[in-house]
Chains A and B, each alone.
Chain A
């Protein structure tokens, strides 16, 4: 019962990889964790993703 419903996962997987991964992470965290923990964790994760994306773009331009 603690698992995320497959239908929800399937629907989220239709989005781009980055959005889908972050959404699934948000969902997984929300199953058992409190809201402030979810927010803080996602904040860090999104910062990482955006930073990584920025770095990749910069290296492509270079």
Chain B
């Protein structure tokens, strides 16, 4: 397929009729660059081609967008029309395939409702097919058009030739879907699926013929053929089991690989993670201590409340002590004795006590100072209790102080470690990685699973081997009997012939798929090395297509390296794979299929862009780039001119009302419209 011309009418950003003539001389100029800033309609052109070829409104980059949200008819054209007046829109694509010319037109009708809602529908589609001899055929039936397009570029293959450059790196992801996608592309492009279908059909036919044979007189041969059929069924089931186990192994290996990557990352920050773990432990321990200290402080609170009145207590105690020292408590002479002396007016020494004398006054004063017995006992008891309290106050003060100091220290420790933890968490980068121990445990469990699976696979393979031996034995016996049985026997002959054809196709299938995997590896590796920059070339060595069609990238020591390459290198690797497939499918030197790339260089470094610009036009029949100013500048234009392959240049220019005009520019004058992207040195 070669794209010749694209004509747009009131489609997306393009008001009125806008055209692009693609450069399509495979030997000479085969590169077209459509250049535009973001929002100018590069993806609109990509969408127009997808819409025209397949009637698709959505393209791969419209993830999670509902089809009804995509409006194709130009809004300005709708607004310029009378209210509720339908507006025509179409995309017309001229292309050729194997010297047959095609013009495919898909028309739309759009309208703004009275509420301003934009509605649209496909009004017609037609394909003009013109043979080299000049015979033309107009096809208007949808199904027929789809069949015709399928022959040119099957829907299943379109994403390999018409793609978003930044998303094509998905092919290098080893997921189940990607493996299926690559396997399906290889099988589609190289007709392996037709081979598989023919083997399946013949297997069923063999069974039918052998069932007929059961009813014949050649019972022994029939028995052998039945046994053979039974063994082959078992072999087929075994093959499927092995394939399922391979799938499981592959998943487990992916998981192991991802855990290894995680562990590697972990190793880089391992010391920090360990320190974070230590800090967390310290904080946890300190928090426990803090909680226990708080508990102690609560119980201490009951005792230490006494400290609030400690000064008063001390004062009272001192006073009581003084009183005691002075003999005021307990008094030297009881109050009752003094009162008796005063009433008897006789001292205890027998002397008469005369009122008004100094002695009498002294006794009277003594009486006043002396309290009654109850008070004395209470004062004595108070003195005794306060003595105890006085002694314990120091203990309470000491223990409270000690608790407060411990609490403050613990709190400070926590604050300090929390601060350290914040710093270290920032250094780790806020990663939510689980504990390294968990990762290692997970890895061990995956390894154990892998060992189990490998053992199971070995067991199955050994069974297959035994079955294959049995099969060979039965085939030998069958051959012997066949010689005995007359070849004129038609029923036997049919079964034998069908089996021979089936076996031949099966053998060819196995040989062919093995060969193409090796050839794709070889071709893709050759191109990959050419496209890489010097550093990548030094490091990366070979693209390998494994038995399950997953890709592996081997470094110069032949060790797997795919997990470590950049997104740009993945893009280069995917392009190499597609180019290898195209080259392998090509009957002549160049596979007649365009490489139509939206955002071709977005992720590529300068050297990768340069290499791609030099190499890709040589290996593909046509290269169409939809590039923006950040990826295509004067430097890229200079390299592309130097390749001698650049034929057409268009810029997408904003015009009044937000529409876009497609303006052809002479390649020689491209520099005027491009930014300087020269790389120093």
Contact = CB atoms under 8 A, between A and B. Distances in A.
B201 A42 contact: yes
Which of B202, B501, B504 is the most central at the interface, judged by chain A CB atoms within 10 Å of its CB?
Answer: B501
A1 B201 contact: no
Interface in A14-62: 15, 18-20, 22-23, 26-27, 29-31, 35, 38-39, 42-43, 46-47, 49-51, 53-54, 57-58
Contacts of B198: 23, 26-27, 29-30, 38
Interface stretch (B222-230, B340-348, B507-515): B507-515
Interface residues of A, number: 35
B154 interface: yes
B487 interface: yes
A20 B515 CA distance: 20
A15 B504 contact: yes
Contacts of B208: 39, 43
Nearest to A35: B201
B498 interface: yes
Given A5-B190, A6-B587, A49 B497 contact: yes
Contacts of A20: 504
Given A12-B504, A57-B488, A50 B493 contact: yes
Contacts of B515: 7
Given A29-B198, A58-B488, A23 B501 contact: yes
Contact of A26 (B190, B202, B494, B585): B202
A30 B488 CA distance: 29
A20 B6 CA distance: 45
A38 B197 contact: yes
Given A18-B497, A54-B493, A46 B205 contact: yes
A18 to B, nearest CB: 7
Given A1-B585, A46-B205, A57 B487 contact: yes
Contacts of A30: 194-195, 197-198, 201
B198 to A, nearest CB: 4
A38 B511 CA distance: 23
B151 interface: yes
Contacts of A4: 191, 194
Which of B500, B508, B512 is the most central at the interface, judged by chain A CB atoms within 10 Å of its CB?
Answer: B508
* Interface size class of chain B, counting residues whose CB lies under 8 Å from the partner chain: 35 or more
A1 B488 contact: no
Given A5-B190, A43-B208, A27 B497 contact: no
Contacts of A15: 504
Contacts of A19: 497, 500-501, 504
A35 B200 contact: yes
A20 B487 CA distance: 19
B355 interface: no
B490 A51 contact: yes
Given A6-B587, A12-B505, A46 B195 contact: no
A53 B489 CA distance: 10
B204 interface: yes
A2 B152 CA distance: 9
A4 B153 CA distance: 16
Given A8-B191, A31-B194, A43-B205, A2 B151 contact: yes
Which of B151, B204, B488, B515 is the most central at the interface, judged by chain A CB atoms within 10 Å of its CB?
Answer: B488
Contacts of B501: 19, 22-23, 26, 42, 46
Contact of B505 (A23, A57, A58): A23
B494 A54 contact: no
B518 interface: no
Interface string B189-221: 111101101101110110011000000000000
A11 B508 contact: yes
A39 B201 contact: yes
A47 B494 contact: yes
A46 B151 contact: no
A51 to B, nearest CB: 6
A51 B493 CA distance: 9
A59 to B, nearest CB: 11
Contact of B204 (A6, A35, A50, A51): A35
B601 to A, nearest CB: 29
Shortest Cβ-Cβ A-B pairs, 8 listed = A50-B493, A30-B197, A30-B198, A26-B198, A38-B201, A11-B508, A22-B501, A30-B194
5 contacts: A1-B153, A11-B508, A11-B512, A23-B508, A57-B488
Interface of B: 151-154, 157, 189-192, 194-195, 197-198, 200-202, 204-205, 208-209, 487-488, 490, 493-494, 497-498, 500-501, 504-505, 508, 511-512, 515-516, 585, 587
Given A5-B191, A30-B194, 16 more contacts: A1-B151, A12-B508, A20-B504, A22-B497, A23-B501, A26-B505, A30-B198, A30-B201, A35-B197, A35-B204, A43-B205, A47-B490, A50-B493, A50-B497, A51-B490, A57-B487
